[in-house]
Amino acid sequence: MPWWGWIILGAVLLGSELMVIDAAFYLVFLGIAAAITGLAVLLGIVMEPWLQWMMFGSLSLITMFTFRGRVYDKIRGNVADYAEGPVGQMLRLESDLAAGTQFRQEFRGSTWMVINRGTADITAGTEVPITEVSGLNLIVQNTPQQSKKE
């Protein structure tokens, strides 16, 4: 392939990753490998087509395995420790909540609808775990240990 073909292939791969497709940064390194191969052909380092493809494949694998994880974590941020919401946190109820009923309560700076999906009534001041979040609805239910505390 001529040098400009490699450069165009590299630009298309880079552009498609950055503008159109979210391929988890794989196409970026394929594009970089194609551009490096094109520059090598332009400088006359690699001449045979099979050797160009071998160089492209080798550079792709080397750059992906060496740099992709680190670059992807820096760009996207490693958010493995981040909890997706309040599920599992404890909520202290401001008023009584009968089984199957709901009321509005402040939590984390927003007003939420708290819904009791349990079979037992929950008295005001009781801390209950948030079992589910649906929109701005916090789903709670009383556990047997919490009922014994009251």
Residue 112 has pLDDT above 80, yes or no: yes
Same domain, 42 and 106: no
Is pLDDT above 90 for 39? yes
Total number of domains constituting the chain: 2
Tell me: do 22 and 47 sit in the same domain: yes
Encode pLDDT of 51-84 as tens digits.
999 999 999 999 999 988 888 778 776 555 555 6
Mean pLDDT of 122-137: 88
Q: Enter the pTM of the model.
A: 0.51
- Shared domain check, 94 and 61: no
- Looking at the structure, do residues 64 and 30 belong to the same domain, yes or no? yes
Residues 102 and 64 both lie in one domain: no
pLDDT at 17: 83
Which CATH number is 121's domain given?
A: 2.40.50.140
- The answer to whether residues 66 and 120 belong to one domain is no
- DSSP per-residue codes, 21-55: ---TTHHHHHHHHHHHHHHHHHTTS--SHHHHHHH
Give a yes or no: residue 84 inside a domain: no
3-state percent breakdown (helix, strand, coil) of the chain, nearest 5: 45, 20, 35
Pick the last residue of a domain from 76, 102, 134.
76
Task: Tell me how far apart the alpha carbons of residues 137 and 135 are, in angstroms, rounded to a whole number.
Answer: 5
The answer to whether residues 45 and 100 belong to one domain is no
Residues 23 and 57 in one domain: yes
Does 82 reside within a domain?
A: no
Q: How many CB atoms lie within 10 A of CB 124?
A: 10
If asked whether residues 55 and 95 sit together in one domain, one would say no
List the domain range (segments joined by +) for residue 48: 3-76
Tell me, yes or no, whether 98 and 71 share the same domain.
Answer: no
pLDDT of 132 > 60? The answer is yes
Same domain for 52 and 102?
A: no
85 lies in a domain?
A: no
Model confidence pLDDT, tens digit, residues 78-88: 555 555 678 88
